Structure 1
Amino acid sequence: MFQVLKNQSPARIFSLGFALIILLGSALLMLPISVNEGVDLNYMDALYTSTSAVCVTGLIAVDTADTFTVFGRTVVALLIQIGGLGVTVVGAGIILAIGKKINLKGRRLIKEAMNLDSGKGMIRFIKGVLLTTFVFELLGAVLSFVVFVQDYPAWQALGISVFHAVAAFNNSGFDILGGLQNLIPYQDNILLNLVTCGLIIFGGIGFLVIKDIWDCKFRFKKLHMHAKVVITVSLFLIAAGTILIKLTENITWLGAFFNSVSARTAGFSTFPLGKFSNAGLIVLTVLMFIGASPGSTGGGIKTSTLFVLMQGVKSAATNKSSAAFHYSVPADSLKKATVITILAAGTVCLGTYLMSVFEPQLNLMDILFEVTSAFGTVGLSTGITPGLSVPSKLLSVLIMFIGRLGPLTIASVWYFADEQQVRYPEGNIAIG
């Protein structure tokens, strides 16, 4: 088997790794020790929960706290952690922890998984990723504990705080408060809202950007182009989302800010989305589709993809070359961004169509929102997830899997060949 894997492309190995972790997670969640007494958990819901956790989504068919024991919730938290960091990075961390060296094949996998330009300094980068994750999650757990200990016994509050920090930094909207309430009871708690948003933002901008910020001592002018793009687009989307949500919904500015941040792939909610207007749901849908940034714990087409597309539009409209932050935008980036966006839009459209066939009783906006949430690995829902049929849940599982790995990665799993050496003469096509 190892010889077979050795000859496979990185994309296939990633996909297989995630699939195996999902299946293992679903099996662990089906164990009697994982399920609360008196709860009848079917395998479809266990598979759905495992997929949602590994793909750091947060969509739930059953309530995590009401269904699973402490052991089951620990399994869910571990699946979220593995899914957020990536199977390859977690595996590399284990190899380093036991004192082994990572071979060239492993280095290539890590390079592909983390969107690194080269393999230089890779081991140091992996150690930095693990340390960064530990620091952010520890700080998040401590600050969250200050809030939760006011409502729960100390040990229970500690468990909730650790779970929440892991879920928030890995941009997964799972909660263990029970009753399918998510963070609605804490919609006015400023500390928990800001701590959660901080974890989501740093988890969503990506480890490359966090490293660049640290190396450049928080000086924006010193940052590389990628970091500048990610930070600029992220701040713009958060601000625009906050204003638009506040204009369309009767919620507080804190609630609008939280939902704008969370919709970018985290999936926590402090207000019931089933009561949102269609205008508000459209804003959230767009934010979910765009998602986080490359090399992060989030999904979507990514902020840098949106930036490159906008630069391409600007270049076509003005007949000037694409440039930003005193750098030219690589031509290949526009081609890749266009392909990713088309594949992503195609996945969402096809998924919405199929779920509409499976669930004719549901309205189109709720279905579009659900499918986009699954693709963007967000976890937000208008409340229709638990009532979905088995075909719809299987469809959602597939879409979450595609969203976590990326549509381009999935496409290359199916077929990928070396660049053609023989080319046909260019033809003429009228555009626009």
Structure 2
Amino acid sequence: MELNVFEKLKRNPPLILGISFACLILIGALLLTLPLASANGKSVGFVNALFTSSSASCVTGLVVANTKETWSFFGKLVILFCIQVGGLGTMTLLCLIYLFLKRRIGLSERIILKEQLNTHTLTGIVRLIRALCLFTLVIEGMGAILLSLRLIPSYGLKLGIGYSIFHSISAFCNAGFDLFGNSLVSFQSDPYVNLIIMALIMVGGLGFQVYIDIYEEKSFKKLSLHSKMVIETSLALVFFGGLAILLLEGANPATLGNKSFLDKTLMSFFQSVTARTAGYNSIAIEDMTPKASMVMVFLMFIGGSSGSTAGGLKTSTFMVILLTVLASIRGQEDVVWHKRKIGQGTIRMAFVMFFICVFLVLMTTFLLVVFEDGKNSFDLFYEAVSAFATVGLTRNITSGLSTASKLVISLTMFLGRVGPTTVALGLGRKSKKQRIHYAEGNIYIG
């Protein structure tokens, strides 16, 4: 007897996750289309609303118009709602609604939550959701309080509190939306604001499983292999990324050239952190040198960590691929990290993810080149990587994109948020046992 559509969906959690994000984007787009959402009382049009909703829901930060000037208070609330739900995950919101209504969370919902949170067990999944939401509330609350100490004196009590809450949520969720009108350029030499935003970005980008592991183990040595890999890789990328930007961009008068050494260092490391899918910028991205811009592309493509609010290839995936390549060069059979062997299934999935991500970036770039004839190809490539990795940095071309390109970028942001993981999970499912085994053939590589 054939399963109905609903039953088929229940048996395909990755597909449900994709549909739930699509619904969030559509709802946000419809609300942002309303004249009430616009600062001038006129609808921005469905395509612009869809683009903005996609960017907020997929915690990207690319915008077709200045957020501060374009949207009304209602519109900004819609954007903030999409950021928060998109950062935590749509199924997390559903779970919270179930808990609020005191409804039982069934097995199918628990399986979907497991897929979304990237956990390996259903045990304690509801307790994990509660801890996740409490952790998010505490971190965002602390960020808002700390930011308000600086923003209230500058913008007054009402705006200062509102700006603090908005930017704390946006930074923690790695969204990159701002209400200052120029991202963090106005605060480029302010270590207080920069360090708070950087801390929120890094905490949001490590992944909730890492913090649960830290809370339970209390010692780095006892952490899981995944947590160790995420922490060490993240710190290494921030350090070497910041150092590379400082060295390659330090003499550029359009960005860092006229700054003091301390300001250069702060701004370089801020860009290194924010390139890990956050999307804030304290310098003009379009004025950066090609060398430093390629460093940014590299950092954007890798992104944050699995199970976090960040996008991209993911730090653990990147590290598994790097370790595999190094092991192959050295002629080693096993891929080892911290005296632990990495399984062949994990390695295979890492390369599948890498292929999907590269293909998506190249296809997006190709379509943008087709639709944006005359625009700089590197700028379009930068935009494609930023959209895929849900970063939100741009070389100042987003607002001038055609309708077709806006739709392409919207789709890329959606796929970047849920697509690679969804596809990988689908491919990683156990299929029926292969009954026929064929003779091995030789293929020459390289």
TM-score by length of 2: 0.93
Letter in 1 for 2:123: K
- The match for 2:298 is 286
- The match for 1:384 is 397
- The match for 1:221 is 221
- The match for 1:357 is 370
Deviations 1:68-115 (A, max 9, x none): 111110110010011001111111122112222210000000111111
Distance 1:22 1:410 in 2: 20
Q: In structure 2, do the counterparts of structure 1 residues 214 and 306 end up closer, same or farther at CA, with 3 Å as the change threshold? A: same
Letter in 2 for 1:115: N
Letter in 2 for 1:299: G
- The match for 1:400 is 413
- The match for 2:185 is 184
Establish whether residue 10 from structure 1 lines up as the match of residue 13 from structure 2: yes
Establish whether residue 115 from structure 1 lines up as the match of residue 118 from structure 2: yes
- The match for 2:139 is 136
Mapping of 1:300-311 within 5 angstroms? 300-311=312-323
Kindly indicate whether the alpha-carbon contact (under 8 Å) linking 2:349 and 2:424 is maintained by their aligned counterparts in 1. no
Q: Once superposed, which parts of structure 1, at least 4 consecutive aligned residues long, lie more than 6 Å away?
A: 411-417
Q: In structure 2, do the counterparts of structure 1 residues 188 and 419 end up closer, same or farther at CA, with 3 Å as the change threshold? A: farther
Distance 1:391 1:377 in 2: 19
> Could you tell me how far 1:40 is from its partner in structure 2?
4.8
- In structure 2, the residue corresponding to 1:149 is in which secondary structure? helix
Mapping of 1:48-63 within 5 angstroms? 48-63=51-66
Q: Which sections of structure 2, spanning at least 5 residues, go unmatched? A: 251-255, 257-263
Q: Which moved more, 1:344-353 or 1:32-41?
A: 32-41
Kindly indicate whether the alpha-carbon contact (under 8 Å) linking 2:303 and 2:311 is maintained by their aligned counterparts in 1. yes
- The match for 1:328 is 341
Deviations 1:256-276 (A, max 9, x none): 000000000000000010100
- The match for 2:243 is 243
Mapping of 1:66-105 within 5 angstroms? 66-105=69-108
Letter in 2 for 1:172: A
- In structure 1, the residue corresponding to 2:155 is in which secondary structure? coil
Kindly indicate whether the alpha-carbon contact (under 8 Å) linking 1:5 and 1:13 is maintained by their aligned counterparts in 2. no
Kindly indicate whether the alpha-carbon contact (under 8 Å) linking 1:137 and 1:165 is maintained by their aligned counterparts in 2. yes
Distance 1:288 1:199 in 2: 17
Distance 1:105 1:396 in 2: 32
Instruction: Give the one of 388, 392, 399 matched to 1:375.
Output: 388
**Cα RMSD, aligned residues only:** 1.7
Distance 1:363 1:104 in 2: 50
Letter in 2 for 1:311: L
- In structure 1, the residue corresponding to 2:120 is in which secondary structure? coil
Identity of counterpart residues, as a percentage? 38
Mapping of 1:29-40 within 5 angstroms? 29-37=32-40, 39-40=42-43
The total of aligned residue pairs comes to 428
> Could you tell me how far 1:189 is from its partner in structure 2?
0.9
Distance 1:312 1:211 in 2: 28
Q: Which sections of structure 1, spanning at least 5 residues, go unmatched? A: none
Deviations 1:220-273 (A, max 9, x none): 112111100000000000001001100111321000000000000000000010
Distance 1:39 1:188 in 2: 37
- In structure 1, the residue corresponding to 2:53 is in which secondary structure? helix
- In structure 2, the residue corresponding to 1:7 is in which secondary structure? helix
- The match for 2:259 is none
Establish whether residue 165 from structure 1 lines up as the match of residue 168 from structure 2: yes
> Could you tell me how far 1:3 is from its partner in structure 2?
5.8
